Structure 1
């Protein structure tokens, strides 16, 4: 597991990346990464992801304690992040954002196709929805906890998305893949372009046998 300073730099880079590629906007969104088995860094409340200073990243533990010498408060969305880390010990990064197309889908009843391209088959293999709860509430944290073991991507209805993975880099790629798939979905429907997905057996064969990436272990 990377040390605290390495994790801090990874999160600073990721925040800038998310703003540059329109995966976040304004002061929306919060990101975190595990530093120890029971500790993680998370963005402070009200931060701008594109310009994260060291003081903008607060160290917390799974017991709910914070270790912030600057007196800053951790993001109010901490219950969501903590729920993922507690439920999934192999997860080391959690990204919460409201990208345009992904949030549009999260506020609709549309299903995200997983069989359109290689990355969608891998990163979007399992996507779940979490009903709307007020941001930052314990109820939202429990809603995420209920679905955390079923997928690595959660659509937070009328709110945004939560993406988590084994590393900051993997979570970042999953978030961008999600936004690309949602954009393709909306554009294809708007332009009345019929999409041809791969058959289920081909998708299953890719996930189980392709050397693209090792298959995810969903046996928790």
Structure 2
């Protein structure tokens, strides 16, 4: 093990704090959710299975190796605990993203509800989300806590920092548990805004030329994950669509500017009708 005791202690403190925040926000209930931190190339600190993550103690966290086996010396508190049942998914992230330092998986209610309704969060509606998160990819449903679930995120996690797991929850990564938590907050925020926009009958994505500018900002900030990320955006609407599916969005043509002239005949007719109504009401 190449990590120091101070690094481990800091990781334990931050995982416990993020667990409390997830619980307070209502992103997890009961024993939901899991959090992990990469300690070094071969070891991960993770939350245990079967405990409320909002009430965890640092001593209950476990160190495992990249094969999912415990690599710590059990203490009186955690000796009977097992790693999170979603450990395969966490390890899949670390194996495919050497830049990632932490993973947060939870169940934000609005985001999960939209995934059940098959409402995508990939539409480019909010500029800050495009810049900071890029696309929020939705993966097809797979059985939670299974190898199938880990396989389902394998390709998506290579170019995405935020993933919506259909009918299941969210997966966010970052350089620390706190950054992954903040990205989770962003997912739920865009989910809420998308839901409200749909209720109002709206929800049109930004035009492609505006998306291009935002993607350029994202690349300039060093947040993009290669050319494949930008290639996923539709040139017409700025969103993503299943392969071979035509874009359903048609942007309305701009209305011609008003000439500023008044139609005298129209004014006269409106005036006549108003006076007629007034006369009838007497």
1:24 pairs with 2:24: no
The answer on whether the counterparts of 2:31 and 2:49 sit within 8 Å (CA) in structure 1 is no
Structure 1: give runs of 5+ residues left out of the alignment: none
User: Taking structure 1 as reference, are residues 37 and 116 closer, same or farther at Cα in structure 2, changes over 3 Å only?
Assistant: same
What's the TM-score, normalizing by structure 2?
Answer: 0.71
Q: Report the CA distance between 1:38 and its aligned residue.
A: 1.9
CA distance in 2, matches of 1:131, 1:211: 28
Between 137-146 and 86-95, report the one with greater CA deviation: 137-146
Match of 2:272 in 1: none
Match of 1:157 in 2: 166
User: Taking structure 1 as reference, are residues 104 and 9 closer, same or farther at Cα in structure 2, changes over 3 Å only?
Assistant: same
1:194 pairs with 2:202: yes
Between 158-167 and 78-87, report the one with greater CA deviation: 158-167
SS in structure 2 of the partner of residue 47 of structure 1 = coil
Q: How does 1:1-220 map to 2 (within 5 A)?
A: 3-68=7-72, 69=74, 70-71=78-79, 72-190=81-199, 192-195=200-203, 197-209=205-217, 213-218=221-226
What's the TM-score, normalizing by structure 1?
Answer: 0.89
Q: Report the CA distance between 1:219 and its aligned residue.
A: 6.1
Q: Report the CA distance between 1:207 and its aligned residue.
A: 3.0
User: Taking structure 1 as reference, are residues 143 and 209 closer, same or farther at Cα in structure 2, changes over 3 Å only?
Assistant: closer
CA distance in 1, matches of 2:138, 2:64: 27
The answer on whether the counterparts of 1:129 and 1:155 sit within 8 Å (CA) in structure 2 is yes
Q: Which has the higher strand share?
A: 1
CA distance in 2, matches of 1:64, 1:111: 32
Q: Report the CA distance between 1:123 and its aligned residue.
A: 3.5
CA distance in 1, matches of 2:157, 2:67: 18
Aligned length: 219
